[in-house]
Structure formats: C-alpha cells, structure tokens
Structure 1
Amino acid sequence: MDAWTESLTDTGLDPQLERDISNCSIARTLEIVGEKWTILILREVWYGSSRFSEFERVLGCPRNLLATRLRMLVEEGILDTEMYKEPGSRSRPKYVITPKGMDLVPAVMGLMQWGDRYCAAPEGPPVLVRHRDCGAHVDVQMRCEDGHSVQAEDMERVPGPGFWAKPAE
C-alpha cells in the first residue's frame, strides 16, 4: 500500500472512489490544451512559426478554428502577440511563446517522444531534437527534485493541499 492509499484509508476514504475529481490538474490542463489543433499550434510555435498565415499553410486548419485556438492561447497567457508590418501591408499580430507556454514544451516533447517510439513512419521520426550546444539527442525524462531518475512504477501519490474528498451523497 502506498502513502496515498494509506493516508486516505486511515481517514476511512477509498482514494480511488471517494476523491472529488473536479479539482484535477490534468483535466483542467486538457480544457486548455487538450485539443489536437492546440497542440499542433504549440508544436509549430516551437518549430519557429509565428504568423497566422504560416500556421494556416502548415497545419491546414480551418481559419475560424485556427483563429479561435490562437485567441484562446493568448487569453490563457501561453502565447502573446507582437505587431509586425510588411511593406505595403497593414499591421498584423505575430504569435510568440511566453514563459507559461515554454513550460508546456516538455509535455509536447513527451507526446513527440512517445509518437516517435510507437507511431513513426518505418523510416523513423520526421524531426530529431538535438541539444544546440553539444549536438546530443534530447529526450524527456522524469526526475525527482533531488535529481534522481524516476520510472512510473517508482512513484507514489500522496494527498496534496488541493485534495478534495467527494461530497457525501
């Protein structure tokens, strides 16, 4: 029995059945970035795209949907806009990633890494990620705050300050 289960069992709660999932960080995150086009926009920003026309050309996303997703990413503080003007054209926004958006890079890279392993074409992954300074392959790894490499089976869950028990019925 892990510490999570033990601590809740001591209170008489079954942690799998009696937890209020309305305070779930994963579900809240998916409300923001859990849609295909949103993740692909983030990928393209990470790859260097910044203009609506670039996103539209590369993604093939319907214009109205693309505009909605970009607006939401700006409203959520994941992207920001800066104005640019090409000669003879009106000013337009370009999209730049914010520090909050940069914090999503490991999640997007984790999806890419999983896809490269299980969904890539027979020839291999379409993009390789290398450390700019030394050229070594970059991958997503889990580490504890003391720096130890951690596997999923080595983790335990414990109630956090935002744990909510399911209301009594």
Structure 2
Amino acid sequence: MSTTPRERNARCSVARSLEVLGEKWTLLVVREAFFGVTRFADFRARLGVAPDVLTARLETLVEGGVLTRRPYRDEGQRQREEYVLTEAGAELKTVLAAFVAWGDVHRPSGFGPSIAYVDRETEAPVRLAFVADDGRELAPEDVDVVAGPGALVATAG
C-alpha cells in the first residue's frame, strides 16, 4: 500500500507538533512565557519581533493549546488580554531544555549558557536524560528510534 507524505505526517507526532511549534519565533515566545512574560508589548520588546508576526504566533499557540488568553486591566486602561502557559505549554519545558542542551554544545555563543535548568529545592543543576523503566539512564547512542503502532511504514527504507 502506497502512502502519501500527507498521510505519513498526519500520523507523525513530530509533524503534528510542528504545525503548532514549527514557525520561526514560536519557541522564543514560549521561552519568554517561561520567564513570566505574558503581555503582547513585553513579548514584542524582549523579542524584537514585528507585531503582525507576533500576533500570528500568539494565535497559533492559543489555537494549539500552548497558551491561553486571560483578560487583565491596568488602572485607567481598557481591558486587554495576556497570554499564559497552559498545562500543555508547561510541558514544553523539556523540549526547550533539549534545544538549550543541543545549542550549548553545537552552536555555542562564546558567552556561556544563557539558560540553566536547576532543581527548584536545591538549585543544583539538572540535565535531560533518557531513562529506562527500571531507572537506568541511557546514553543517546544506546537509544534507537523505531516506528510506533501508529506508523504507516515500519522502516524508512
């Protein structure tokens, strides 16, 4: 049975995630949300992104369930909306941590890491790892990528 790329992508977790997260600026908006930024003007000031692009990225993140709108009103001002991480958005912390780890090794700035992940209680550094069901930590080279039950094709060819 022949499958089209569209059929394969509809079943692919990476492709479906990229529908929400794959545009330039999107993960940077999420990064800023983890730093507590919630307001349009603050996202814009911190990122330097054009307003129309930021509007589009925020809309995609809301539609994708990563951010939710919440009304606020500063004294003497009209009501506006701010953007806060949803549970699904908060779960992107590991995705951003993976990007940080990769970027620090393969795209270093020369200034050192700009983001550190630490244990909330002890403030000791933490890192991402593959962990087996029995608790063993596995090196990336000891982990294979295989087709899951939703895959149309068991191998890449």
Q: Percent identity?
A: 36
Determine if the alignment matches structure 1 residue 93 to structure 2 residue 54: no
Determine if the alignment matches structure 1 residue 25 to structure 2 residue 10: no
Over residues 93-138 of structure 1, what are the superposed CA-to-partner deviations in whole Å (9 max), with x where a residue is unaligned? 1111111111111011110111122223223112323222101012
C-alpha change, 1:95 and 1:145, in structure 2 (3 Å) is farther
Give me the TM-score of the superposition, normalised by structure 1.
Answer: 0.79
C-alpha change, 1:133 and 1:24, in structure 2 (3 Å) is same
Structure index of larger Rg: 1
Q: CA deviation at 1:24?
A: 1.5
Residues of 1 paired with 2:15 and 2:21: CA distance? 10
Q: CA RMSD in A?
A: 2.0
Determine if the alignment matches structure 1 residue 123 to structure 2 residue 127: no
Report the residue type matching 1:53 in the other structure. Answer: A
Determine if the alignment matches structure 1 residue 50 to structure 2 residue 38: yes
Q: CA deviation at 1:157?
A: 4.2
Determine if the alignment matches structure 1 residue 62 to structure 2 residue 50: yes
Runs of 4+ in 1 over 4 A off after TM superposition: none
1:1-169 equivalences in 2 (<5 Å): 21-22=8-9, 23-165=11-153
**Structure 2: runs of 5+ lacking an equivalent:** 2-6
Give me the TM-score of the superposition, normalised by structure 2.
Answer: 0.85
Residues of 2 paired with 1:95 and 1:41: CA distance? 10
**Structure 1: runs of 5+ lacking an equivalent:** 1-12, 14-19
Q: CA deviation at 1:158?
A: 4.3
C-alpha change, 1:121 and 1:73, in structure 2 (3 Å) is same
Of structures 1 and 2, the one scoring higher in RCO (CA 8 A, sep 6+) is: 1
State the number of aligned residues.
Answer: 148
Q: CA deviation at 1:32?
A: 1.4
Q: CA deviation at 1:26?
A: 1.0
